[in-house]
Amino acid sequence: MTIAVVTGAGGALGRAIALRLAADGHSLALTDVAAEPLARTVEEVRAAGAKATGTVADLRDAGAIDAFFAAAREELGPVGVLVNNAAIYPTTPFLDVELAEYDEVHAVNQRGYWRCAQLAARQMAGTGEGAIVNIASITMHGGWERLASYVATKGAAVSLTRALARELGPLGIRVNAVSPGAFPTAAEEIHEDPAAYSAQVIERQSLKRRGTAAELAAVVSFLTGPDSSFVTGQTVEVNGGWVMT
Ligand SMILES: NC(=O)c1ccc[n+]([C@@H]2O[C@H](COP(=O)([O-])OP(=O)(O)OC[C@H]3O[C@@H](n4cnc5c(N)ncnc54)[C@H](O)[C@@H]3O)[C@@H](O)[C@H]2O)c1
């Protein structure tokens, strides 16, 4: 049994990932800044028969994140899997972005990923094994209007994945990224006309339907499980054939 941490576990993709890792036999240490959706995920994971803790913590608050990882270890055991999933995506024209917004996006999406990886890897190093998955985004390939801060952090998630895979491999820790295309979640509410956006997504994808959160979670499951034991430093695109790399 491995202890798996999922950040942003109250969001649609985080919830699907938590449920899939529970089905894989992990115990879950779940966290999110939003209490109510986090509680729902914890409830669903427990209903599925897995052990789960839920901790409300803000990734911008280093002390809260340190305490979360320390408590996870004490309550469940050393972390064996980390999925860096929580992110924010404010949409503002680049010419109008305030530094405070930029700093916030980076504090959650980049420094948050970096620190969680460090805290998890310290626990993994003690056991000589572990798997980290960083959730990136299709937006890093083609750019995206009004999302420059977010897009930059998603490119950074891939660079971080490679740097950590290189440094942590000798410790038995694998680090990979999953880059989602467009999944119908709350994230889509940033678009003025979500139905038109959905039609546009299907037009651009090679597969002519929307992807599901469970299909994304299945790839996270593969990258955190034994079938990917010789895979590290890679980014897997899960986008229905929108962008092909
Ligand atoms: N949905 C998509 O189509 C899509 C596409 C590409 C990439 N992604 C990526 O997938 C991941 C999950 O996205 P989602 O669609 O489920 O979005 P979401 O907004 O539903 O979930 C993100 C979660 O992160 C949490 N969060 C936000 N700020 C936080 C903070 N300061 N501290 C802790 N938690 C915080 C939110 O409360 C939320 O539950 C993100 O990394 C996102 O960039 C999603």
Distance 170 CA to ligand 1 centre (A): 31
Burial degree of 93 (CB within 10 A; 0-12, 13-18, 19+): exposed
Mutate to test the pocket of ligand 1, among 5, 31, 32 (most ligand atoms within 8 A of CB): 32
pLDDT of 1 reads 66
Which strand (E) or helix (H) includes residue 43? helix 35-47
Measured between alpha carbons, how far is 131 from 153 in angstroms, rounded to an integer? 21
| Structure-token pair, residue 211 | 């992807």
For ligand 1, atom 37, name the residue with the nearest CA: 34
Q: Show the domains of the chain with their CATH numbers.
A: 3-238 (3.40.50.720)
Query: Which amino acid, residue 114?
Result: W
CA distances from 141 to 111, 115, 213 (A): 21, 25, 21
User: Average pLDDT per run of 10 along the chain, which is 245 residues long?
Assistant: 95 98 98 98 98 98 98 97 98 98 98 98 98 98 95 98 98 98 87 91 98 98 98 98 96
